[in-house]
Chains A and B, each alone.
With several copies, the nearest count.
Chain A
């Protein structure tokens, strides 16, 4: 097990008092994780000691920045076990990573009448990029059904795959249900040689990721959900596929040779990193990866699934709580509603108690429609959360129910 009280000391924001009185209980890690001291101070220090633009300079600071930046790439590579650092592209966010693949993959591979397979529980960031492709290339999107726990219906999924299926893009861990996509789903795609994009936004911080074992062709995530800074995302893509795809954005750094008539592009990863990249952000993400690796992804996973079980059990005992997905393989995320109380009221009420949760559609409007709700509340856990915090939370939702009952 992990030493939570030690870990909590690493996160300066946990000292915060909400409204000057309540201890902060941060149950919104799925939206964005808080940052450990180490990440904050190393970035701070980097700006004070080593900062300059990367790749193009010869002077000392440029060397230091370039090496730190490329070292971060290798850290990411190892973290998800990619086979080469060329397969790691720095973007600004997972959303951008998905857009990059959607556009470039479609340009090369998708024609009118082709099919893309998603699920009904995808985040808008894994829906709209494909909608834009659908509009442009007149292809079809098919949506795999899910059950009430957020598990993809394997038979239905299999029935959607055919020779016209050009790519499958699915979440690895649902940001509403907290359930993990079964490896059999990926197997079905692998068997048919259909490329798979896994949206790893929620899995990267909670599971031990091995992109080669997973059998995905693309894997995307955001640094800010992995205890790293804002402003950085990752696109992993298999080298042999990325090499074949056209460029996305054009600009400095991705050019081999330019005349006024034409340009040739450099190889991976630079080809997809036009312009000055998020330098210090990449460095900071590298530090965050060191931090979680030191704790151990399996330890983190154990801690968080334990917390999830505890919370789930307590909540299931409360008759005024409706929970979306109650399967025991939930990880870090619980979505719920309190009877007859809108999620906004719950969120505001809990905020005053110091508990930060999220309320709304969680960028999953189609799923909300399917669940037949307008919105839900969502609590989500990180390495710094404790069973004691869950007690405070349970108490607070009881108070909330009472407050709005009268």
Chain B
């Protein structure tokens, strides 16, 4: 089987794609947003609770989409849970670079990180939107009042 595909669909991606973690809606949330990829119709709903110290407490997502978008959303929620908002935003930047093929310029993430599983996306530029859908939704949730 082709190496690029193996890179793209690592075990962890297929796993999270089929059995996403943190799937659902947080009962107690103060931030949420809907994300949407108009090119294919994929959708994600994200909700989380940002506490008074700007820590992301509970975070969950739901939606339909391809393995990449679902796995990415699942890995994102795992990553962000318990994290400070400002740090999450830096990771947003790093992650975007990672999937676009700019891994050399990352500031926080390193190749031990679970998010690195999505590095294979760089060889499939049209899938970048799939990989970043959840992250953009996170961003709009933050910006929503």
Contacts and interface: CB of A to CB of B under 8 A. Distances in A.
Interface of A: 19, 55-59, 62-63, 66-67, 255-257, 266, 270, 342-345, 348-349, 351-353, 359-361, 365, 368, 374-375, 399, 403-404
Interface of B: 1-2, 4-5, 8-9, 14, 36, 38-43, 64-69, 124-127, 130
B36 A58 contact: no
16 contacts: A56-B39, A57-B126, A67-B125, A255-B38, A256-B36, A256-B38, A266-B38, A342-B65, A342-B66, A351-B124, A353-B2, A365-B41, A368-B41, A403-B1, A403-B5, A403-B9
Given A266-B38, A352-B4, A360-B41, A344 B66 contact: yes
B42 A257 contact: no
Nearest to B37: A360
Contacts, number: 72
B15 to A, nearest CB: 11
Contact of B36 (A59, A63, A257): A257
A377 to B, nearest CB: 11
The winner among A19, A62, A348, A359 for most chain B CB atoms within 10 A is: A348
A90 B53 CA distance: 45
Contacts of B38: 255-257, 266, 270
A359 B40 contact: yes
B56 to A, nearest CB: 26
B13 to A, nearest CB: 10
A373 B81 CA distance: 31
Contact of B125 (A63, A257, A345, A349): A63
Nearest to A64: B125
B39 A348 contact: no
A374 B64 contact: yes
Nearest to B121: A348
Contact of B127 (A343, A348, A399): A348
A376 to B, nearest CB: 10
B5 A58 contact: no
Nearest to A19: B4
A59 to B, nearest CB: 8
